[in-house]
Amino acid sequence: MVLRYRPIDCSIARSLSLLGERWTILVLREAFSGVRRFDDIQQNTGAPRQVLSARLAHLVEQDVLRRVPYQEPGQRQRYEYRLTEKGLDLYPVLVGLLEWGDKYLADESGPSVALTHKACGSPVRVTMMCADGHEVAGARDVRAIPAQRRASTRR
Amino acid sequence: MVLRYRPIDCSIARSLSLLGERWTILVLREAFSGVRRFDDIQQNTGAPRQVLSARLAHLVEQDVLRRVPYQEPGQRQRYEYRLTEKGLDLYPVLVGLLEWGDKYLADESGPSVALTHKACGSPVRVTMMCADGHEVAGARDVRAIPAQRRASTRR
């Protein structure tokens, strides 16, 4: 079977090198929910503390999260973790996972959260659009073609 | 910090219980690329054979992939792996990972693949829409609210 791209060059693979691990995605879920402090993230994800600490450091190093100092009265200065623009851009991926889980994996009590458009209150969903303004229903309507590469060094 | 949902109920967490592991997503990448046979998937992902075998079995058991028999001349019958409807519905998640990787992690030769709408040839991208037909630019435009649960047993 002839492949028309080098799988190793693939941006999905690169993204997973950064994210491909469940605690990382759950940390991002917390960040998008406004949960920014180590102990709260730890409690909500159930990640072992050492693992969580390593994942947070990695996400900061990769500019997905940034550390912001805060100080409670009488306590030492600590840090909370906020999404950068790069991190915020992962939102459609998380919403896609949420929708898929809601559709196929929810229990009898249904989805736990509903996403609405702040501007109008209507439900929000992930979709695909083409540059001509058509909504693209699914994978069967999409063709993947080798991109024009900017250099010929990686063929 | 008060949480307005039970993180354990979250569909993102459930999806990751099924998918939260990089080989699984890379197997799905191959399936969406039309690569369906064990040896080809193994070669393109680099997954260890035993790991790949376990992941494929898990995805079949979860109805994300289905096994379809094929037979080359002079060979014993083997199976290839095709996406089910449930698997096909993961496409926006993979395209989201692709776009994010293209934007933030591509090397100097640029993206390796371009997605186009079969009907018109225009580039395809993932986006979010609300039910009123507005395009939703990003996480800052979305409000997450506790969903109406169908039973009160899980509060």
Q: What residues 2-21 of chain A have any CB closer than 8 A to a CB of chain B?
A: 3, 5-21
Given pLDDT bands bounded at 50, 70 and 90, which one contains residue A8? Answer: low
Q: Which amino acid is at A5?
A: Y
Lowest mean pLDDT across A5-14, A35-44, A79-88, B32-41 = A5-14
Asked whether residue A150 carries a pLDDT value surpassing 80, the answer given is: no
Q: How confident is the model at residue B151 (pLDDT cuts 50, 70, 90)?
A: low
Q: Which residues of A touch B16 (CB under 8 A)?
A: 22, 25-26, 97
ipTM: 0.89
Question: pLDDT-derived band of residue B143, with 50, 70 and 90 as boundaries?
Answer: very high
Who contacts B34 (Cβ-Cβ below 8 Å, separation ≥6)? Answer: A1
Number of H helices, E strands in chain A: 6, 6
Residue B154: which pLDDT band, with cuts at 50, 70 and 90?
very low
- Give this prediction's pTM: 0.89
Chain A interface mutation, best of B36, B82, B117, highest count of A Cβ atoms under 10 Å: B117
Q: Is residue A114 predicted with pLDDT exceeding 80?
A: yes
The answer to whether the CB atoms of A118 and B143 lie below 8 A apart is yes
Gyration radius of chain B's alpha carbons? 19
pLDDT digits (tens, 9 = 90+) for B3-31: 445 666 788 888 888 886 789 999 999 99
For residue B115, which residues of chain A lie inside 8 Å, CB to CB? Answer: 142-145
Task: Say whether residue A147 is in contact with chain B using an 8 A CB cutoff.
Answer: yes
pLDDT confidence of residue A155: 42
What's the one-letter identity of residue B97?
L
Element (H, E) at B130: strand B124-130
Q: CA A105, A125, A129 angle in degrees (round to 5)?
A: 120
Q: Taking a contact as any Cβ pair under 8 Å apart, which residues of chain B between 71 and 130 contact chain A?
A: 83, 86, 88-120, 122-130
Residue of B nearest to A39 (CA): B1
Take residue A77 and report the two structure tokens written for it.
């200065």
Confidence (pLDDT) at B67: 97
What is the C-alpha separation between B42 and B45, in angstroms, rounded? 5
pLDDT at site A10: 83
**Cβ–Cβ < 8 Å for A26, B16:** yes
**Rounded Cα gap, residues A132 and A141, in angstroms:** 14
Q: How far is A124 from chain B (nearest CA, A)?
A: 4
**Structure tokens given for B70:** 């094929």
Q: Which two tokens stand for residue B155?
A: 């509060």
A128 and A92 Cβ atoms separated by less than 8 Å? no
**Looking at the predicted structure, is the pLDDT value of residue B32 above 90?**
yes
Burial of A149 (0-12, 13-18, 19+ CB in 10 A): middle
The predicted-structure confidence for B53-70, as pLDDT tens digits, reads as follows 999 999 999 999 999 999
Tell me the angle at which helices B38-45 and B22-32 cross, rounded to the nearest 10 degrees: 120
- Closest CA relative to residue B32, chosen from A140, A71, A102, A145: A140
**Residue of A84, A100, A116, A149 to mutate when probing chain B, most B C-beta within 10 A:** A100
Please provide the average confidence, as pLDDT, over all residues in chain A: 88
- Are B119 and A147 contacting, i.e. CB atoms less than 8 angstroms apart? no
Residue A149: band (very low, low, confident or very high) from pLDDT cuts 50, 70, 90: low
| Residue B66 token pair | 């289905």
pLDDT of res. B18: 82
Q: How confident is the model at residue B83 (pLDDT cuts 50, 70, 90)?
A: very high
What residues in B contact A90, CB-CB < 8 Å? Answer: 96, 100
* For B40, nearest residue in chain A (alpha carbons): A1
Q: How many angstroms separate the CA atoms of B101 and A18, rounded?
A: 10
A48 touches chain B (CB under 8 A): no
B70 close to A (CB below 8 A): no
DSSP code per residue over A99-116: HHHHHHT--TT--SEEEE
Task: Name the DSSP letter for residue B56.
Answer: H
Indicate which of B112, B116, B143, B154 best probes the interface with A, i.e. most A CBs within 10 Å of its own CB. Answer: B112
B93–A96 CB contact, under 8 Å: yes
What are the φ and ψ backbone dihedral angles of B5, each rounded to 5 degrees? -145, 165
Neighboring chain A residues of B24 at a CB cutoff of 8 Å: none
Please report the pLDDT score of residue A154 as a whole number.
45
- Between chains, do A118 and B154 touch, taking CB under 8 Å as contact? no
Tokens 């225009």 map to which residue?
B122
Q: Find all residues with CB under 8 Å of B122, minimum gap 6, and list them.
A: A130, A131, A132, A134, B116
Of all residues in chain A, the percent with pLDDT exceeding 70 is 89
Q: What is the pLDDT of residue A21?
A: 79
A43/B102 Cα distance (integer angstroms):
33
Q: List CB contacts of B61: < 8 A, sequence separation 6 or more.
A: none
Say how far apart CA B50 and CA A12 lie, in whole Å.
22
Tens-digit pLDDT profile for residues B91-138: 999 999 999 999 999 888 888 889 999 999 999 999 999 999 999 999
